[in-house]
Amino acid sequence: MILGTGIDIIEVERVAAHIGRGNGFTEKVFSKAEISFCESKANKHEHYAVRFAAKEAFLKATGKGLLAGHDLYEIEVIQDELGRPGIKLHGNFYDQAVKNNWNRIHVSLSHVKAMACAVVIIEQ
């Protein structure tokens, strides 16, 4: 049963500007693994932006938004061996997933030079 659906779209330049300020934004929002992945890419800001969009889409899909939590680095966008995206939850978000029976999380990501978007579906 589908519990929630979320979608988000963001301008890549907006995320690049936040990262460029060097104020800890990157570490507050992204896991160490996500940072390592994005930094290894030639178009790293697109990869950061699409992960940010996925986190926002996930929060919308929970139906709680930011009330679900502010530690966005605990929402980790991962890829399986085929490159298919997924979400791995840590800390408070993991606890909520167990409590609320968020058993499957589906993710679709897309990005181009200027825009990034993500769709998240949470199933019971």
Residues 23-40: tens digit of each pLDDT: 899 999 999 999 999 999
Around Cβ 51, how many Cβ atoms within 10 Å?
29
Q: Of 44, 55, 60, 64, which one is the catalytic site residue?
A: 60
Q: Residue 27: its pLDDT value, please?
A: 95
Residue 45 has pLDDT above 80, yes or no: yes
Residue 11 has pLDDT above 90, yes or no: yes
Q: Is 56 annotated as a binding residue?
A: yes
Q: Within 10 Å of residue 94's Cβ, how many Cβ atoms?
A: 14
CA angle 29, 16, 84 (to 5 degrees): 60
Cα separation, 27 vs 44, whole angstroms: 15
Its pTM stands at 0.94
Domain CATH code at residue 45: 3.90.470.20
Choosing from 45, 47, 55, 111, the catalytic residue is: 111
- Structural domains of the chain, count: 1
What mean pLDDT do residues 91-120 have? 96
Domain span at 119: 2-123
- Residue 45 tokens read as 């800001």
To the query of whether residue 90 is one of the catalytic residues in this protein, the response is no
Name the residue among 31, 41, 36 with its Cα closest to residue 87.
31
Q: Please check the confidence at residue 41 and state whether its pLDDT lies above 90.
A: yes
Active-site residue, 106 included: no
Token pair, residue 62, equals 């929970």
Structure tokens at 90: 């840590």
